[in-house]
Amino acid sequence: MIVNSIILILIVLMILFSCKKKAISYENFKSCSKSFKATCNKKTIYEEISRLEDKIDKLQYIIKSKGVDNIKLNKLNNWFEKQQKKDSQFKKRSQKNVDDSIKQFAQETEKRMSIDKKKGDKKHKKEFSKEKRKLNKLYKPLNLKKL
C-alpha cells in the first residue's frame, strides 16, 4: 500500500515537472524565418549583413533591458529579504523583552506575596495565641475528683 502510494506520487511529480518544462515561453521572431539567397552581388550581401546587424542590435537591447529588469528585481528582492529579517529580529527581541518583563513581574509578585504571608502569619499567630489564652482562662476543666 505504501509502495503503491509512493509510486503514484512519483508519477504525478514527473508529469508536473514535464508540464512545467514545456510551459517555457519562447520568443518567435517573424523576420528570422526569411532566408536570403546566395549571391555574389555586393549590394545584397551588405544589405543582408546590415539587416542582420540591426536584428542583433535589437536582440542585444532586449537582452540588456531584461537584464536590467532582473538586476532591479534582484535588488528589490534583496532589500525585501533584509527588511523581513530585520522585522523578524525585532519581533524576536520584543517578544523576549515581554517574556523577561512578565517573568520579572511574576518573581516580584511571588516575593511580595511570601513577605506579606509571613507578616500575616505573625499577626494571626499573635492574635490566635491571645484568643487561645483567653479561652483557656474561661474554660474550667471538668474535675473528676469532685464527682
State pTM to two decimals: 0.36
56-104 confidence digits (pLDDT tens): 888 888 887 777 777 888 888 889 889 989 998 999 999 999 999 999 9
Averaged pLDDT, 117-125: 75
pLDDT score of 89: 92
Distance CA 48, CA 16 (A): 44
CA dist., res. 100 & res. 78, Å (int): 33
- Give 147 or 138, the one with higher predicted confidence: 138
Q: What are 29's three cell numbers? A: 521572431
CB 30 within 8 A of CB 18: no
The predicted pLDDT at position 25 comes to: 47
Sequence-separated (6 or more) residues with CB below 8 Å from residue 130 = none
Rg (CA), the chain: 46
DSSP letter (8 states) at residue 145: T
Q: What is the mean pLDDT of residues 44-60?
A: 87
- Determine the 3-state secondary structure of 27 from DSSP: coil
Q: Which three cell numbers stand for residue 79?
A: 532589500
